[in-house]
Amino acid sequence: MIVEICANSRQSAANALAGGAQRIELCRRLDVGGLTPSAEDIDYCLHTLHLRTHVLVRPREGDFCYTPAEFQQLCRDVELCRTLGAHAVVVGFLTPDGLVDTVRTRQVVQLAAPMQVTFHRAFDEVKCDPLLALEQVISTGCHRILTSGCCPDAEQGIPTLRALQSTAQGRITILAGAGITPANAARIAQETGVTEIHGSCKTTLPDGTIQTDTETVKQLIKSLSL
């Protein structure tokens, strides 16, 4: 079982590492669902912490239908991640009618190589059968899908996650995320068959800062090894 921790800062990344995380999804601004982190933070996680780092590339909050200028910026950020040595980028594109934008996704997969590409939780907003959306993402060459099973959290999404995992048949990795805790992670993994779990393990500090909590990361990993 691979545990990926969503880290929104250098300190969160360090806390995830101290907790035993095998990799991180690096971002900033979790309060708006996550945005592209700085080049300095990417470099720090890769070359100072020596963490396997998947970088969220999202230029703004809101929907996943980007203007040509926003998409160009996103592509430049993908190229920067590749230059810095990131292991993967995390992106998601939808069409105005709520389907997977296979054209843009395929373009980014080709641009990102040899990095891996994760299609993020934009997947959970598709306006079609999730199994159809799965096939669309697979057709683009993405390596994994971060999804809650198209539900508010992964625990509620267990039936769809199970169907996605079964249908994928090894063609793409299903990364279960949203609302993952030490209390429910093992059940979600066991009942869906997924081999990768994504959690934030976050806490809010007295000053309002959102940060990864080392002890919660440890508890999450321990719960999956029992």
- Give the confidence band of 37 by pLDDT, cuts at 50, 70, 90: very high
Task: Report the mean per-residue pLDDT for the chain.
Answer: 97
Is the pLDDT reported for residue 204 higher than 90? Answer: yes
pLDDT in tens, 143-184: 999 999 999 999 999 999 999 999 999 999 999 999 999 999
Contact at 8 Å (CB) between 107 and 116? no
DSSP letters for 119-137: E-GGGGG-SS-HHHHHHHH
DSSP letters for 65-94: ---HHHHHHHHHHHHHHHHHT-SEEEE--B
- Average pLDDT (177-193) is 97
Enter the tokens of residue 115.
């990095």
Cβ neighbors of 127 (< 8 A, separation 6 or more) are 97, 98, 99
